[in-house]
Structure 1
Amino acid sequence: MTRPIDDLIAIMARLRDPENGCPWDVKQTFATIAPYTIEEAYEVADAIDRHDMHDLRDELGDLLLQVIFHSRMAEEAGDFAFGDVVAAICEKMERRHPHVFGDVTHESDSARSRDWDRLKAEERKAKGGEDHSALAGISRGLPEWQRAIKLQKRAANTGFDWPDHRPVLDKLAEELDEVRHEFENGADEERLADEIGDVLFVAANVARHAKVDVSRALRGANQKFERRFRGMEALAESEGRTLTSYSLEEQEQLWRRVKQAEKL
């Protein structure tokens, strides 16, 4: 069964009705809803990682509701409506894809990426933006790992990039040595934060050169750690103990047992 988007728009209008709507929905603002919008986007990504198409359908619906919610609040303020959002993104997609909707051709993916950034820069200039840097327009509201990748990609489009992964790995080793040096010499928290930030920035660059999505890779690492740690707890319980009753060396042995069991 399918239903038109107008049904969802009407539902949100009813929820936001000051007299007969939902009190929670009525009192929301752009600022209070923004965290939910971000959360729903991450839940979409999680459903994709789990290959759960049923959840993905539901999470995409939740994310779409966020767009409708923001659009409804803007319409109430007399700024724009959902139809304007759709019109704007349609026009933007056609404008930014002249190789699809026009007669432009690109000789490579990198050329297409440079053209994309050029078109975005022209859009910013048309809006009256004064920042003409290649790095202009990268949102400061992004997760910092994502902003790091975008900064690196923009810089790479100007030619400022390592030729392949090898010097990036060398730089990562260099930054790790600097962190080790700061630890061994009693550096303060601010200095350590600075050096560790360099490590994370270069690690993001390693992922970019490997064409690995940083968020997906970190989610995988988190899931692996959680799975193995829960495995340690299960082993401890099977022996009639709690994990905290083991020494660190014994816990390491449990960890190795869990890892070994995953390989069987």
Structure 2
Amino acid sequence: MKTPAALFTELIEIIEKLRGPEGCPWDKKQSPQSLKPYLLEETHELAEAIDAADGDHIKEELGDLFFQISFLALLHQEKKQFTIADSLQGIIDKMVRRHPHVFTDEVFASDEAIRQNWQKIKAQEKKEKKKQDKGELIDVPKSLPALNRAQRVSSRAASHGFEWPDTASLLNKFREEAQELVEAVEQGNRQEISEEIGDLFFMLINICRWHDLYGEDIMHLATDKFIRRYTMMEELIRRHGSKMTEMASEQHLHFWRQAKEKERD
């Protein structure tokens, strides 16, 4: 059986051949920008496979993602911006540097102390790179899904001490934001409604974080649940000999409740 190192080398050689003079016209035309949509697509497909806990599918999607990442690295190597080895060495050095409790004799009193040291090392790394001081929160990519980005920003703010003192304070603020949304809706001010919905979403993300829940996953589960119930409701209406477009809201609600009851059975 080939080693992972040998297989990775073989993958790089395949990509080099695809990009070579006798290679594939499509692969030869690609650039980092043109590959970005495929990278995002493969990442989402892998995430779905993980959610489904399908080992074979995860294995396949990891391979697809390995290909996209290797392809991107090779494109930059061709431009002599950096080599694939440079990129690999960079992440190896970073992981060793950020885990002194594993790779050195340094000892920490708790998991929280380890996390704080991780943040300290990251801050020092940025200082050494002489980046403009934009603040760590701004480093969270805008390209992340909105709920994911919000939770990352909230977590980073909390790690710097900007945190709710207790659950009661958090819930009181949630109720305040919910009331402000109600008032904005009653006034019919579209801009204020938009802002208050955003504030309420952010408070919900904070509640997720406090309970070690992942907002993105929660919304996917809630959406899946809605789809299941809606599909069941459509089937119930069809069996009733009716059409959804011809029914009143009260009738929709009746069949929706039936769908919920069937799902619980």
What are the equivalent positions in structure 2 for 1:37-52 lying under 5 Å apart? 37-52=39-54
- 1:121 and 1:144 map into 2 onto residues whose CA distance is 24
What are the equivalent positions in structure 2 for 1:138-177 lying under 5 Å apart?
Answer: 138-177=140-179
Of residues 105, 126, 129, the one that matches 1:127 is: 129
The Cα offsets for residues 94-143 of structure 1, whole Å up to 9 and x where unpaired, read as 01111111122222222222111111111111111121635353333322
- The aligned counterpart of 2:17 is 14
The amino acid across from 2:166 in the alignment is D
Structure 1 counterpart of 2:206: 205
Mapping for residues 76-225 of structure 1, pairs under 5 Å: 76-131=78-133, 133-135=135-137, 137-187=139-189, 189-225=190-226
Partner of 2:67: 65
Contact 1:232 1:243 in 2 (8 A): no
Match of 1:34 in 2: 36
Could you report, residue by residue, the CA deviation over 1:15-41 in whole angstroms, capped at 9, with x for unpaired residues?
223x33222222222122122212222
Q: Which runs of 5+ in 1 are unaligned?
A: none
Amino acid in the other structure paired with 2:214: D
Maintained 8 Å contact 1:16/1:22: yes
CA shift, 1:223, in A, is 0.9
| Equivalent in the alignment of 1:235 | 236
Q: Flag structure 2 segments of 5+ consecutive residues without an equivalent.
A: none
Following superposition, the deviation at residue 67 of structure 1 comes to 0.8
Q: In 2 relative to 1, CA 110–163 (structure 1 residues): closer, same or farther, beyond 3 Å?
A: farther
2:251 alignment counterpart: 250
1:25 and 1:248, CA in 2 relative to 1: closer, same or farther beyond 3 A? farther
Aligned residues: 262
Return the alpha-carbon distance in structure 2 between the equivalents of residues 173 and 5 of structure 1: 53
Matches of 2:209 and 2:9, distance apart in 1? 40
> Secondary structure at 1:223's aligned position in 2?
helix
Flag the 1:42–1:165 CA change in 2: closer, same or farther, 3 A. Answer: farther
Q: Deviations over 1:156-184 (max 9, x none)?
A: 12222013333222211211111111111
C-alpha distance in 1 between matches for 2:248 and 2:14: 57
Deviates more, 1:243-252 or 1:210-219: 243-252
Task: Say if 1:165 and 1:210, in contact at 8 Å, map to a contact too.
Answer: no
Tell whether the 8 Å contact from 1:155 to 1:161 is kept in structure 2 after alignment: yes
Q: Does structure 2 conserve the Cα–Cα contact (< 8 Å) formed by 1:235 and 1:254?
A: yes
Question: What is the root-mean-square deviation of aligned Cα atoms in Å?
Answer: 1.8
Residues of 2 paired with 1:111 and 1:59: CA distance? 35
Partner of 2:25: 23
TM-score between both structures, scaled by the size of structure 2: 0.91
Give me the identity figure in percent: 37
For 2:138 and 2:241, how far apart are their aligned partners in 1?
59
Q: Distance in 1 between matches of 2:51 and 2:171?
A: 27
